[in-house]
Amino acid sequence: MLIYNPKDWWKLIFYFHKADTFRKLLPAMLGVMAYTAFISYLENDIFHFLPLKNPLAIHSLVGFVLSLLLVFRTNSSYDRWWEGRKIWGGFTNNSRNLALKLSAILPEGHDSKEIFRVLIGNYIHAVKDHLRGNVNHKHLEYIANYDEAFYVNYKHTPNRIGQAIYLEINRLYKSGVINAEQLLILNNELSSFTDNLGACERIRNTPIPSSYNIFIKKMIFLYVFTMPFGFVLEFKHWAAPIVTLIFYAFAGIEMIAEEIEDPFGTDNNDLQLDSIVKNVKGNLVEIFRS
């Protein structure tokens, strides 16, 4: 995720990075400009006229409808991004709450404190990698019985770590370290981990319907590539930069919507999951070692 100052207008206006929509769209923009310039040459220098009255009327109407579609598309994608951020805020809060409760319940210096620190940190880390599709057991911290062999042959690593946390809680309950009332207090936080993971998987595995996505791209293509025929009559050779600018606006909005609809990746506009995981692990160390 790109960190920036939203109040620094001039820096943002003239700032370009490798994921910027302008850089990505530049080849297409040059193609649109060349295409429009060619149409302008044909209409202005070869045919000299085109039998159209009020040539901008159709594109004005279609542009309004297309703008509404793009607004809905962007809002849908941003809702997914913001929901993902709220879920990861829940992961952070649940990790802290569970750690605080366990730290208060368990006796001073109890070995299980360090085990829970490792397991909870591993769970958050594994969820991040799971959502990005690159889970690697070597990225986890091993402790006690929960070594590399514990995770072998398990495709869903977060579930395996969640199972380990439940096993530890159950072991403490059976040994009398925690009682039934304390077990109920801990259960809400334990259940919320799985609920949050399921919500993240729902966002990741349920993209915007393909027919809607394809339709918008087709409309942008038809709108932009028919635009020169009317705009050239009205703006002459100035139609080339005008059409290019309109293409950049519409295509850029669509590209931004595509990028943020899956907020768990590593693009500049995705959630800053690495920092969230690092922050949670730091909190766990402070809580269990205090």
pLDDT tens-digit map of 179-199: 989 888 898 888 999 999 999
Share of the chain above pLDDT 90, in %: 36
What is residue 12's predicted lDDT score, i.e. its pLDDT? 58
Is 228 or 128 the better-scoring residue by pLDDT?
128
What is residue 98's predicted lDDT score, i.e. its pLDDT? 94
The SS3 call for residue 146 is strand
| For residue 54, pLDDT beyond 80 | no
Task: Tell me the C-alpha distance between 144 and 137, whole Å.
Answer: 16
| For residue 47, pLDDT beyond 60 | yes
| For residue 275, pLDDT beyond 90 | yes
Q: DSSP E strands: which ranges in 19-82? A: none
Is 176 or 56 the better-scoring residue by pLDDT?
176
| For residue 117, pLDDT beyond 70 | yes
Contact between residue 168 and residue 118 where contact means Cβ atoms under 8 Å apart: no
Contact between residue 35 and residue 214 where contact means Cβ atoms under 8 Å apart: no
Task: Please list the residues that pair with 143 across neighbouring strands.
Answer: 146
What is residue 52's predicted lDDT score, i.e. its pLDDT? 56
Give CA angle at 29 (23, 31), nearest 5°: 130
Other C-beta atoms lying within 10 Å of the C-beta of residue 88: 24
Contact between residue 171 and residue 111 where contact means Cβ atoms under 8 Å apart: no
- Please report how the helices 157-174 and 111-132 are oriented relative to each other, as an axis angle in degrees rounded to 10: 160
Q: Which pair of structure tokens corresponds to residue 68? A: 């509404």
Average pLDDT over residues 149-170: 91
What is residue 124's predicted lDDT score, i.e. its pLDDT? 96
Q: Which pair of structure tokens corresponds to residue 287? A: 């809580």
- CA distances from residue 118 to 89, 157, 207, 229, 288 in whole angstroms, order as listed: 20, 14, 33, 65, 10
Give CA angle at 177 (174, 178), nearest 5°: 85
What is residue 49's predicted lDDT score, i.e. its pLDDT? 56
| For residue 17, pLDDT beyond 60 | no
Closest CA to 111 of 102, 123, 124: 102
What is residue 259's predicted lDDT score, i.e. its pLDDT? 85
Average pLDDT over residues 249-268: 87
pLDDT tens-digit map of 90-109: 999 999 999 999 999 998 88
pTM over 0.75: yes
